Amino acid sequence: MFNTVTPREAVAHLQPEIWARVNRLHIRKMIAEYAHEQIIQPSYRHVKQGWVVYVLTSDQPDIEYRFRAKILHLNHWYILTESIEKMVNGQPAALDALAFIVEFSEQLNMDPSMLPVYMEEVAATLYGSAYMHVQGGPSSAYLAGAGYQEIEHAMTGHPRFIANNGRVGFDAGDYRSFAPEAAQPMPLLWLAGHQSCTEFTSIAPLDYAQVKQQELGSQAADFDAILNGKGLQPAEYIYIPVHPWQWYNKLAGIFAPDVAANKLVLLGYGQDQYLPQQSIRTFFNTDHPEKYYVKTALSILNMGYVRGLSPYFMRTTPGINEWVNNLVLQDAYLQETGFCTLREIATTGYSNHYYEQATKTDNPYKKMLAALWRESPLSKMKAGQRIMTMAALLHVDTQGEALLPELIQLSGLDADAWLQQYIHVYMSPLLHCFYQHDMVFMPHGENIILVLENHVPVRTIMKDIGEEVSVLSAEVPLPEIASRLRVSVPDEVRTLPLFTQIFDGIFRFIAAILEEHMDYPEKSFWELVAQVILTYRERHPQLEQKFQQYDLFVKEINPDALNRLQISNNRQLRNRANPFDVPAIGIVENPIAAFSPSPSYTKMATV
């Protein structure tokens, strides 16, 4: 049913010219992001044709890299790709991303036991990048007017992480079947979990029977018949969608005792076809786009986590989503901005009692069999609107052309007007959630869906609510079911998620793309950011004390260092119990400090 590749097909895209290109691009990213986080320290040499020439010396003094760059705000390194040279004993050498990691392993300060896995993830990232370059892919000009799924499957991964598409566990056939960029429609497997081990939770009035009927239709009766044929009662089971890889590689073996005891019964493939999204384990129904997204456990190592789903978390996820959604619906300003959430409206989780009893600590073996259903974004659209992932604003195609300038050009607006509208619909709701409700999301590119009219963002949709929302105040009343959202945070770092996720994680890259591809001054972009914040502030004078207390115009900031985090532990980036206990990039100038409305910005937001 899924792609099987011959040995030759598995490596057909690994061509010398393509491999050289993706290694050059990845080394550009490595130097830029490692230098951004001050893991490595390039040294200034001289100015050449308007660029500064830098030299970077490896752990081995006879190996160095030379390149031309400009340092933008937030210590962002805008590197001229074609200028990168590697010199060994003064002689030119080929650029090799894996060799770069070895050459700088001491400066990376990585645990030697973790280094090979990190290198494996980087090698797999390069493998996928080569695949996309061979395919060519749609141009940025085409994507600017393309449909939601076409855009989704052209994305190339997290802008900050060096090891961002590792997918450790996939083989070459799995890659072509299950990787988002391969864009192969696929069915999901369905299992029946006995109620003694399985829980279903949903948002009222939705119940299990409704979800089962909507997702399976007439096939629900066929699956019931399979259980009846085994002498089992369908009413005693809950049906669970499963990623096929998970069944073959984890569940069929690790859950073998439960399969043998009929606590877990294989029903077969569903009829609907799905496409994997950027997050790999979330699926969009292509046969019936109005149906729910499905998110499944997938026990591969990818970008700092084994991508399981916790049955424990699944119990409270619908309740958390309902609480957040009600808060959004009842807030007049959030409704004015059009901000909304994609609710995770139903979940199911299967607990393997062997692993539950064996250890009380959290581990991937407890997260192998669970799923959730999330609303489709199509249900949130009006006539004349289309949607795209916000990650698209950072996309550069295989020919080196950026999507953002194409989108601005299609809109007919000038850059200032387009950018101000985008910054408002993206950032203003997040500011309001923070200042009014002491709540922060994880609003990175993959978690935000932009709603467009005439190629201009008019509002945003936030997803991944159950796992990536935090309430920062003990004073906010929370229902018991949402209690795990509360995080104890010192006042001096309350603004850190905004500076890390929005400024450093999104705006830094947008400013660089505008500078590189449109000759749009980064200072002008950051001035627009400041204007949006000040406009929000003027609209809400009742929050002035909080604006002063949690000032976004501080002179210096110290965002999280995501690569340092991954280097220190490539299996768990953050501890949810203490998500602020992370390394930082080092103190950098706040790019909006120059536009502060008052001298009070001399305070510092830092760890």
pLDDT in tens, 99-140: 999 999 999 998 898 899 999 999 999 999 999 999 988 999
Q: Which two tokens stand for residue 46?
A: 């001289």
Residues 537 and 447: their CA atoms lie apart, in Å, by 25
Phi, psi (degrees; rounded to nearest 5) at 471: -105, 125
Q: Is 280 left (phi over 0), alpha (psi -120 to 50) or beta?
A: left
Find the distance separating the first CA and the last CA of the chain, reported in whole Å: 51
Q: How many CA atoms lie within 13 A of 456 on its CB side?
A: 14
Give me the mean pLDDT over the 160-188 stretch: 93
Give me the mean pLDDT over the 71-88 stretch: 98
- Residues 6 or more apart whose CB falls under 8 angstroms from that of 31 comprise 40, 42, 56, 65, 67, 77, 79, 84
- Residues 6 or more apart whose CB falls under 8 angstroms from that of 261 comprise none
Give me the mean pLDDT over the 31-40 stretch: 98
Residues 320 and 128: their CA atoms lie apart, in Å, by 35
In the DSSP assignment, the letter for residue 402 is: B
Length of the chain: 607
- In 3-state terms, what secondary structure has residue 344? strand
Give me the mean pLDDT over the 456-467 stretch: 95
Please give the torsion angle defined by the CA atoms of residues 133, 138, 139 and 142, in that order, rounded to the nearest 10 degrees: -170
pLDDT in tens, 313-362: 999 999 999 999 999 999 999 999 999 999 999 999 999 998 888 888 88
Cβ 478 vs Cβ 486: under 8 Å: yes
Cβ 360 vs Cβ 337: under 8 Å: no
Q: Which two tokens stand for residue 601?
A: 């910005």
For helices 219-229 and 208-216, angle between their N-to-C axes, nearest 10 degrees: 110
pLDDT in tens, 415-447: 999 999 999 999 999 999 999 999 999 999 999
Give me the mean pLDDT over the 477-488 stretch: 94
Phi, psi (degrees; rounded to nearest 5) at 347: -140, 160
481-to-194, 298, 326, 430, 485 alpha-carbon distances in Å? 24, 25, 14, 23, 9
Cβ 527 vs Cβ 595: under 8 Å: yes
120-to-72, 221, 473, 516 alpha-carbon distances in Å? 31, 44, 40, 31
Distance of CA 594 to the CA centre of its chain: 31
Q: How many CB atoms lie within 10 A of CB 544?
A: 12
What local confidence, expressed as pLDDT, does residue 607 receive? 35
CATH 3.30.310.280 corresponds to the domain 7-136: yes
Instruction: Give the closest residue to 193 by CA, choosing from 259, 263, 242, 260.
Output: 263
What does DSSP say about strands 448-453 and 456-462: parallel, antiparallel, or unpaired?
antiparallel
pLDDT score of 167 more than 80: yes
What predicted TM-score, i.e. pTM, was given to this entire model?
Answer: 0.95
The CATH fold assigned to 388-605 is Transferase(Phosphotransferase); domain 1 (1.10.510)
pLDDT in tens, 530-564: 999 999 999 999 999 999 999 999 999 999 999 99
Identity (one letter) of the amino acid at 448?
I
Q: Classify residue 170 by burial, with Cβ atoms within 10 Å: 0-12, 13-18, 19+.
A: buried
DSSP state string for 464-498: -TTTS-EE--TTS---GGGGGGB----GGGTTHHI
Q: What is the residue extent of each domain of the chain?
A: 7-136, 181-377, 388-605
Distance of CA 606 to the CA centre of its chain: 24
Instruction: Quickly state the pLDDT bin for 580 (edges 50, 70, 90).
Output: low
pLDDT in tens, 212-232: 999 999 999 999 999 999 999
Q: Which two tokens stand for residue 35?
A: 């230098």
The residue behind tokens 């690994």 is 14
What local confidence, expressed as pLDDT, does residue 2 receive? 72
pLDDT in tens, 360-381: 888 899 999 999 999 999 999 9
pLDDT score of 602 more than 60: no
